[in-house]
Amino acid sequence: MDVPEMLESASLLVPDETATENDITVRDIWDYLVHDEWEIALGLLEELGDGRPLPLAFWEKLAEAAEQLRLERSAAWCHWRCSEIRNGVIRADLTLRPAAEARRTTPISGAGVLRPMWDIGHLSPTGARAVSIAFLWVENMPSLEPGGRATVRLVPLTPSHWTHVQPGQQITMHEDRTLAGTAVILDVFRPATAMPAG
């Protein structure tokens, strides 16, 4: 399947009444497809997908189209959204410790490549702290500096570890034994309940 076919196929999965913040609809996207403006069409389809839950197949088609167009960040985002549908997603307000107080002295990538450990309240059989792993995506930013604060999206590696997590709960981020940051849970969406982007 070539790029226009993938984008057309994805657009058919979007309900007609769906619109972006700027009132762009699927019909508008078809105009871009007719004129071979594939990158614009892809970006607008991503926006439509961020406004409401859409099926896994939608994001898979967009990811494949982005890969063929060699749009790395877009492909990463579409693959990320597939992971959210499969594993659930937790949105949180994260504050990293300043470089002078933590091991990390460089920014963290915002594009979902970091897999930090999180203290979400579990204990090991011996009573020690047990951590769970979740991939991290920083919303609307390419990276997050030490000492910085941002809304992040967490995709649990093992969703069953995160079933007790609730909005308002505070959790801590670790890249090793030391504290790397503190987050307050904003939203929790279980697997197969994709949610809008922030």
Q: Tally Cβ neighbours within 10 Å of residue 113.
A: 11
So what's the pLDDT on residue 125? Answer: 86
Interval 135-152: pLDDT, tens:
999 999 999 999 999 999
Q: What pLDDT does 197 receive?
A: 53
Secondary structure letter of residue 148 according to DSSP: -
pLDDT for the residue numbered 198 = 47
- For residue 119, the SS3 value is strand
Give the number of other Cβ atoms within 10 Å of residue 12's Cβ: 11
Q: Position 114: which residue type?
A: L
Predicted model pTM: 0.87
- 110/157 Cα distance (integer angstroms): 17
Task: Return the sign of the alpha-carbon dihedral for residues 57, 45, 40, 28.
Answer: positive
Residues of the chain with pLDDT under 70: 193-198
Q: How far apart are CA 33 and CA 42, in angstroms?
A: 9
* pLDDT tens profile 23-41: 888 888 999 999 999 999 9
pLDDT value at position 1?
Answer: 73
